[in-house]
Amino acid sequence: MTSAQFRRVVYSYYKRRGRHTLPWRQTHDPYCIMVSELMLQQTQVPRVIPKYEAFINKFPTVGSLARAELGTVLVLWQGLGYNRRAKLLHSAARAIMARGGIFPQTKEGLEALPGVGPYTASAILAFAYNTPTALIETNVRTVYIHHFFVDKTVVTDSELLPLIEKTMDTKNPRAWYAALMDYGSHLKQTVGNVNKKSAQYVRQSKFKGSNREVRGAIVRLLTQKGLATVGVIVKETGFTRERIELQLRALLEEGLIQKDGQRYSL
C-alpha cells in the first residue's frame, strides 16, 4: 500500500464517520488543546466531553486557570480520575503566565511545561499550530499495526515512526491526526485491540481496590466536606486507616492536599 492509498483509506473513514463535532476540534487555541490532551490521557472520550466543556467554561484562558486555587481546579476535575493531571495542568498554566502568558510554539518549549511529555507536545503542535510532527499514541499505533504489521507479534515505536513520518499529510496534520485517531478507535471496536502487539502496550491496572481508588475517594470526600480528619475520612470512605494514612502522605507530598493541624483539605 502506497502512502497515497493509505491516506485515502484513513480520510475516507473520517469523511464518513469522523467525530468532527468534538469540542476541542472546534478550536486552535493551544491552551484548550492542552486541557483536552491532559484530560484524554487514560480517559474515554465520552467522559471527557462534559468535563472539558465545564472546565473551559470555568477557566476560559490560561490566565484564569493560573489564578485559580488548586482546590478549585480539583473540584472541577472530579470524575476524571488521576487527579495528579489536574495539578500538572494547573502548574503548566502558572509556568506559562510566568513567561508572560506566551504559549510555547516549539516541542522543546512545550516539553518544559509540567505534565507535557513528547506526545502531548506533538499533539499541541499538530492540533493548535498545524505543524507537521510525528506523534504516536494508542489509536495511531492501532492503525499502523493493523495495516503494516499484520504478521508481526511485537512492534516497537521505532518501527512505526518512519512510517508515520512517510505517510503524514504534511499540508494538514491537524485533520490527518484527527482522522487517524478516529479510524484507530473504530478499528479497536471492529477488529480488536491490535495495539497489544505494541512493545509499549501496558494493560491498565484494575481500579477497584487500588491505591487510585483510595486516593480518588479521599479527594472526592475533601471536595464535599472541605475539611476532614483521618478518622472522618476512614469512616466515610470505608478504607482501613493504614491505607488512608499512606495515601494522605502521598497526596501531601505531591501537593494535591493540605494539612492544618489534624485536618486535611484541598
> Is 164 part of a structural domain of the chain?
yes
> Is 72 part of a structural domain of the chain?
yes
Same-domain pairing of 13 and 140: yes
- 255 is in which domain, residue-wise? 211-265
Domains held by the chain: number: 3
Active site residue 69: no
Q: How far apart are CA 249 and CA 211, in angstroms?
A: 12
Q: What is the mean pLDDT of residues 182-210?
A: 82
Enclosing H/E stretch for 99: none
> Is 202 part of a structural domain of the chain?
no
pLDDT tens for each residue of 222-259: 988 889 999 999 999 999 999 999 999 999 988 888 89
Give me the catalytic one of 37, 53, 108, 165: 37
Which pLDDT value is given to residue 205? 65
Same-domain pairing of 125 and 138: no
Which pLDDT value is given to residue 256? 87
Per DSSP bridges, beta strands 228-229 and 263-265 are antiparallel
DSSP string, 47-78: HHHHHHHHHHHH--SHHHHHHS-HHHHHHHHT
Enclosing H/E stretch for 253: helix 241-253
Q: What is the mean pLDDT of residues 57-72?
A: 96
